[in-house]
Homo-oligomer: A and B are copies of this chain.
Amino acid sequence: MKLGFIGLGNMGHAMAKHLLAAKHEVAVYNRSRPKAESLRPLGARVAETPADAARGAEVVFTMLADDPAVEQVVFGETGLLAGLAQGAVHVSSSTISVALSDRLAQAHEKAGQRYVSAPVFGRPDAAEAKQLYVVAAGPTADVERCRPLLVALSRGMSVLGEKPSMANVVKLSGNFLIVSMIEALGEAFALARKSGIEPKAFEQIFQAVMGQTPVLSRYATLISAGQYEPAGFALRLGLKDVRLVLEAAGAAQVPMPFASLARDHYLAAMAKGMGDVDWSALAALAAERAGLPVK
């Protein structure tokens, strides 16, 4: 299939490679060009603009950092909206707001184009290893058309329904669940440490009792070690996602007090200049509030 791929950060770069490996023709675009050039040996065409990446493509992926990045790539002068063919599909895999996802759906429909929301769960190493999990939503025919592509870059996928932004709600909810578990672990470790229990011992019991859940295990290990750098996922991005959750919750009139608390703690972290450490550093704040050294 003829594809475009826009956004070649750690996530997008790996995803595009899987599509190339699956023998698709892929035109790639990235704001800083070297990341795009690195895919040329694998068969990619390096596009000059988002619109250029969309030229002749049946499906174009975007995998970008946040709302403003997506807005610029889509609505800009040489953007995707201008370049995408009638009937072609924009697959948005970025973690963006529900509101922007709704706006993209409308804009593409008005332009005679198709839009599928397909955010992914997993970090760069999972992307690399084809272990992402995809949550897709959009008109059934469009989702089905993209299914082989999504399968080619993931370990599995779920399809939700006709309204694309549903997938964004699920992605944001997933991140909210992780944030909540981080905060809860942070508070629990603080209590354990102040009660004289070794973090390592507490972690081992947690693992033994809770069973094999890679997501939580990872964070229990980081918190136990007090190791918040280098960031796997930066705290400022964690705050961004909690904000998006609260925005969606506000629009849907859903009180989410755990999310509210997490936002306040993230703001305190930002005010301390911790925007670039791992988002699990919520646990460092919990320790500090309890009068403990971070480690």
> Which A residues contact B (CB, under 8 angstroms)?
98, 121, 133, 135, 156, 158, 160-161, 163, 165-166, 169-170, 173-174, 176-177, 180-181, 183-185, 187-188, 190-192, 194-197, 201-202, 204-206, 208-216, 243, 245, 248-250, 252-261, 263-265, 267-268, 270-273, 286, 289-291
Instruction: Please name 11 pairs of A and B residues whose Cβ atoms are closer than 8 Å in the assembled complex, sorted by A.
Output: A177-B181, A177-B185, A177-B206, A181-B181, A187-B256, A187-B257, A211-B215, A254-B271, A255-B264, A255-B267, A267-B289
Q: Residue of B at shortest CB range from A248? A: B191
Each complex incorporates copies of this chain amounting to: 4
**Choice from B156, B196, B209, B270 contacting A215 with Cβ under 8 Å:** B209
- Chain A at the B interface: mostly helix, strand, loop or mixed? helix
Query: Quick check: B243 and A250 within 8 Å, CB to CB?
Result: yes
How near does chain B come to A193, taking the closest CB pair, in angstroms? 9
Tell me whether A245 and B191 are in contact in the complex, defined as CB-CB below 8 angstroms, given that A258-B258, A260-B263 are known contacts. Answer: yes
Assess the A158–B201 pair: CB atoms within 8 A: yes
